[in-house]
Structure 1
Amino acid sequence: MGAGAHPLYRHGDSVVHRIPAETKIVGLVAFVLAVVATPRDLLWPYVVYAAIVAATWWAARIPVRWALPRMLIEAPFVVLAVLLPFAEGGERVDVAGASVSVTGLWAAWGIVAKGTLGVAAALTVAATTPAAQLPAALSRLRVPAVMTSILVLMIRYIDVLAAEAGRMRIARISRGDSPRALHQAGAVAKGIGALFLRSYERGERVHLAMLSRGFDGRTPDLAAVGAPPKAPAAQWVVASLPAAVAVVIATAAWVVP
């Protein structure tokens, strides 16, 4: 698994790239928790959070045009948020000639704002953290070894499965399949089922290969296997600054009327 094996990693040499992975993981969790804990009926905290994310992108040299398309993963939640003002009850107001719920509007705003900030923060960590650093970082954070091993194998084989799905798609098209046609939905569903079976069989082969090489079910201390040095206190301080500011803003949002 090479450095930056996962598709969201963006090669660079910024100050954010050089911060150890464990500090960025802790900072990400603290930032997301601060955003989630912020009252949804206030606007100014979210402006500050967005400024923190933008400043981090600038420090990490992450272009907006690169990041925005990769944030479309939250699109289903945005669709749900758009429907909430029409489905919720309570007090209603007219917006562009349509009667919508005030409670639904605030709920939609909360979903979109918090979801977008969470996805942007997670993307920032993914774009600046090579996959090879994750095992040691999780081990140092006392994540159970089994969960760390599962994550490592997932990162290793997700590209393999994506390539397999691409080959299956090319094979269908070469045999006259039209993926965008509605009547081909059955073929697509069968392809997904076949990919699942192939993935399961591949997992069994990998497990047998591990057993033949002496694997006994116990995972090694990944923090001690070719890991980079631990983060010094100065890097912990730098990595914690965005999260610390977010925690202060979330606290102020509840205290300041």
Structure 2
Amino acid sequence: MGAGHGHKLHFHGHSPLHRAPAHLKVLGLLGFVLLVVATPKDWFAAYGAYLLVLVGVAAVSAVPPAYLLKRLVVETPFVVFALILPFAATGPRTEVLGLTVSEPGLLAAFALLAKGTLGVLASLLLAATTEPRDLLAGLERLRLPQQLVQIMGFMIRYVDVVTDEMRRMRIARESRGFTARDPRHWPVVARSAAALFIRSYERGERVHLAMVARGYTGRTPATRHPRSAPGHG
């Protein structure tokens, strides 16, 4: 759980993008996302250009395409919603592949898919090329409130601990012959989730008391700031 604790989204590498200062990458991501969001729905060429930019950045970062594509599954709910939009929206109708759909809904679905995919892909590139501790240091350099930085730091540190606890609880249930197959089993799963929440909350209390006992005053020790330029540090 020390400073060297990694994260599943990070891809170890030595590309120029890996070596770039974290706070500049955060600013670049923020600017890119704002630009994508502000782009009108029917500017199809612009979305193609944005995708080419991300492909170029991914090539420079040397992050394998399969590594990014597997993690794009996180946007599945947005994909499902986008597929429903052309059928649920009102307005003029048109025919696509033998199906009658709403023209405004079809355009809205394209914009949702395009903007969502571009934003998620850009975020994955940031996570893949930036270690969590460097990202936190970059946020500090951007003057993000200290409490928010600490919350994110604890979240990164303990997400694997909570995930492992959840895995052990699942194994314990299955070793007793329990498998959630239908809604009748949902109360058991809900009680397990409640127990996990209580355990995590109690762990947080113990960690906080231990930190206070060691002189914690509301600020964590300074994190290692990323290099200001490639080749330094």
Quote how far apart the aligned CAs of 1:131 are: 1.0
Residue in structure 2 matched with residue 168 of structure 1 by the alignment: 169
- 3-state secondary structure, aligned to 2:66: helix
Report the CA distance between 1:172 and its aligned residue.
Answer: 1.0
Higher relative contact order (CA 8 A, sep 6+): 1
Match of 1:131 in 2: 132
Aligned equivalent of 2:108: 107
Q: Deviations over 1:143-196 (max 9, x none)?
A: 111111111111111111111111111111111122455543332222111111
- Tell me the equivalent position of 1:159: 160
- Match of 1:205? 206
Query: Which stretches in structure 2 are left out of the alignment for 5+ residues?
Result: none
Describe how 1:101-250 pairs up with structure 2 within 5 A: 101-216=102-217, 218-220=218-220, 222=222, 225-231=223-229
Residues 14 and 59 in structure 1, CA contact (< 8 A), matched pair in contact too: yes
Post-superposition shift, 1:97? 2.7
1:175-224 Cα deviation digits (max 9, x unpaired): 112245554333222211111111111111111111111122x21573xx
* Cα pair distance change 1:3/1:31, threshold 3 Å: farther
Q: Is the 8 A contact 2:21 2:228 kept in 1?
A: yes
Please state whether the residue corresponding to 1:99 is helix, strand or coil. strand
* Other structure's SS at 1:214 match: coil
Distance 2:226 2:31 in 1: 23
What is the aligned partner in structure 2 of residue 246 from structure 1? none
Q: Distance in 1 between matches of 2:225 and 2:50?
A: 32
Is the alpha carbon distance of 1:221 and 1:207 closer, same or farther for their aligned partners in structure 2, counting shifts above 3 Å?
A: closer
Give the Cα–Cα distance (whole angstroms) in 2 for the partners of residues 179 and 59 of structure 1.
45
Letter in 2 for 1:109: F
Give the structure-2-normalised TM-score: 0.93
Distance in 2 between residues matched to 1:88 and 1:30, nearest whole Å: 31
1:239 aligns with none
Alignment length, in residue pairs?
231
CA–CA distance in structure 1, aligned partners of residues 215 and 15 of structure 2: 40
Match of 1:31 in 2: 32
Give 1:231 shift.
4.5
Alignment partner of 2:225: what SS? coil
What is the one-letter code of the residue matched to 1:208? Answer: L
* Maintained 8 Å contact 2:20/2:227: no
Which TM-score applies when normalising by structure 1?
A: 0.84
Percent of paired sites with the same residue:
47
Q: 1:220 to 1:231 in 2, by over 3 A?
A: farther
Q: CA deviation at 1:15?
A: 1.1
Q: Which secondary structure state, in structure 2, belongs to the residue aligned with residue 100 of structure 1?
A: strand
| Contact kept? 2:136, 2:153, Cα under 8 Å | yes
Q: Would you say the 8 A contact 2:134–2:224 is kept in 1?
A: no
